Structures are given as structure tokens and as C-alpha cells.
Chains A and B, each alone.
Chain A
Amino acid sequence: MSGIDPGLYRRVLRRELHSSRSGSTIVVLVLLTLAVGYVGVEAVYAALGRPALLFSPVDVLATLTSSVDGGGTSGLVLGAGVVAAIVGLVLIGLAVTAGRRGRHTIDDDRVAVVVDDRVIASSLARTARTSGRLSEQQVSAWVSRRRAQIDLTPSSGLAVDDGAVEAASRAELESVAYRPALSARVRTTDQGRLGA
């Protein structure tokens, strides 16, 4: 009945699940603007025949040549080179990695849905709390792309019913069709805590 092109929802969800890289791009653009603007100012100084503020763009290469001409290792040039190479690698990494945003989708026949992983973890933690009769401090949960992990800390001297917790979390995950699908794992720490 809904006259919405499924391709449109696919596009919207793909864009919501991955980072747009706009933040990094804007940071790089601002830094480049500052750097290029500064080179421009130096170029004006050089064109007017004034002494340079820090360096003249005309004799950058001459300075570099004289600084490495001794034959030994120039620490400053080496350091600058290594830093630039690392920055370059980070930028290439940002460009080619997927940039997943820690979200899952739920299938619905009318709306497109994205759910923060924190919401899923929080709902699993509450399920674990109520099914295992635990207090808020005894349960912690996190959700990654395909796994949900629930950590239980028992009170000293009391056993935790982790079977019940596991069954309840499974049921909770199965009742909602998260994509990509999640599988729950319950872990009970060896050491209990007094008064927990």
C-alpha cells in the first residue's frame, strides 16, 4: 500500500548507518584554508620584495637543500616528513574505511528505522535485570555490529540465574528484527561484589 520506492529507503538507511565524513572534510578544509591563506600572505610579501614573515615561498626548496646538504640526518626535516606521512595515512584511512556509526535498522513496512546501539544495549540490560532479579549496578551490556554482550556481577554468596537471563535476552532480541542480526552472550564475572 505504501507508495514509497524501496530504493529511497535503502539509500536513506545506507546514509544513516555510515558516517558522511563531512566533519573530517570540514576540518581538513579549514586547515587547508589557513595554510593556503598564509602562503598567499607570504607570496604577497615576496612579490613586494619585503622580508619574509617566517619563510618565503620562493626559496623553500633552497632552504630544504641547504638543511639536508650536510650529508647527515636532519632531525627536523625527518620529523616533519614522518608527521606528514602519518597524517596522510590517517586521511586515506578515513577516505576508504566504511565509517559505521554503531546503529542497527529494524524492518518496518511503512517507515525506515535506525536504532542507536546504546538503546539496544540499554533495553537488553533492563531485560537482564528483570529476568535475573539483579540491581542496576550488576548488569552492563554493549552491542557491536553482530553481537550483544551482557555482563553480570553476582552479589557475593548468591548465584545468578544466567540461564534465565540468557533466555530472556534471546527472546528480547528475537522479538525485534534487528539488521544486521544480533546474537546475545551472557557472561557472569567470577568475582561477586559485596552489597551489589
Chain B
Amino acid sequence: MTSSNRFANRLFLFVVGLVTLAVGVFLAIVALPGGGVLRDLLSPASSAVDDAVATTPIDPTGGTGGSWLPLALALLCLLLVIVFVVAIFTHGHGRTDSVVVHDDPAGSIAVSSSFADTAITDALRARRDVAAVGVSAWTVTGRPALKVRVRLTAGSSPAPVVAAASDVARGLDRVLGETVPVLVEITGASAVRRGADSRVS
């Protein structure tokens, strides 16, 4: 339920993939004996780079120092590195601390997500088919929503747990006076619940 921009992820992967594919195909064609046309492009391009480096001195009066192009390239690389690092850290956000926020003239009321956590966990943990419950609150399209992760014991059917979680969510609605979107994620079925008789399954 993170707020990561999925379209941007796919667009980024597509563009990087396309560029990598183009470079790879270019290299492969140039390396093969048949790549005459592309190979002819190489030496003009390479001499164009040499010309550009020769005609862009740092000191126009002809003093010391080479071209400013490598410096510009270094700055561009630094900029790109900063952009990439920022892009890495934009992933995975979206958690929130409160499930309900009420703004009244007298003040603002916020119900902490740990309240919902305790209520839902206590209601579901006692069930025989539930091995573990975890609750987290996320902001989805600007509003708080709850994610309830339920790990079932091996072999349990998910349907009764879903019905129970639905009832718990309705109970929470009555307590909070507001319907909070709830996602129930049913996973697991790894170990049998600790303390329970493992042969009755």
C-alpha cells in the first residue's frame, strides 16, 4: 500500500531498457563484419569528439588547462547521481500514524493507528486458525486506510477468517463513528500455531 508511483517505475524501466538495448544492438552490429554502415559512422563521431574537446578550452586566451567538456560531464554526472539517490528514497512511503482525523471548531481529534492495531489484533488473535496478526495504517488517495495482515495456520480455510475480520471492521466502524477502508491480506500457512496440537489440522 505504499505510495510509490508505479507508472513512473515502469516508464523508467522501459526507457533504461530501451537505451540499453539500443546500445547493445549498436555494439553488436559494429563488432560484426557486416556492420560496415554503422562502423563508418564511428571515426567521424570520434574525431568530432576530439574537435569539440580541442575547441573548448577552459582558458580562451590559450593558457593552461584542457577542455571544459570533461568538467561539464563531471557536473552532469554529479547531478544525475543526486537525482538517482533522491529517486531511490522516494520509494516505500505512505505510512501514517492516525486512522481518523476530525477537525472541529473546538480542536482536532486524531485516533492513533495503534488503537486500531490493538482492537483488531485482540479480536483475531484468539482464533485457532490465526497464527499472527499485524496491523498498519497507510494513506491511500489522501485518506487513512488500514492493512491487516493475517498469517493462517497450515491448512486453514481463509473464508472464516475473512468473515471474522469483516465483523471486526464493522465493530471498529461503530467505535470510531467512521468507516475506514480495510485491506485484509491473508498469508502464511507456514507453521502450526505454537501451543496448539499440531496433529489436529
Question: Measuring CB to CB, which residues of chain A are less than 8 angstroms from any residue of chain B?
Answer: 2-4, 8-9, 11-13, 15-16, 18, 20-22, 24-26, 28-30, 32-33, 36-37, 39-41, 43-44, 46-47, 49, 57-59, 61-62, 64-65, 68, 71-75, 77-78, 80-96, 106, 108-116, 118-120, 122-123, 125-127, 129, 172, 175-176
Contact = CB atoms under 8 A, between A and B. Distances in A.
Nearest to B190: A118
Interface residues of B, number: 87
Given A39-B77, A96-B10, A108-B166, 9 more contacts: A36-B80, A61-B42, A62-B49, A92-B14, A92-B17, A116-B186, A119-B186, A126-B155, A127-B157
A172 B157 contact: yes
B49 A28 contact: no
A76 to B, nearest CB: 8
Given A44-B74, A172-B157, A110 B21 contact: no
Interface string B182-197: 1111111100000000
10 contacts: A12-B140, A20-B9, A26-B88, A36-B80, A49-B66, A84-B21, A108-B163, A109-B166, A110-B182, A113-B162
B185 to A, nearest CB: 5
A34 B45 CA distance: 26
B115 interface: no
B77 A91 contact: no
B62 interface: no
A59 B43 CA distance: 11
A45 B156 CA distance: 63
Contacts of A36: 77, 80-81, 84
A25 B91 contact: yes
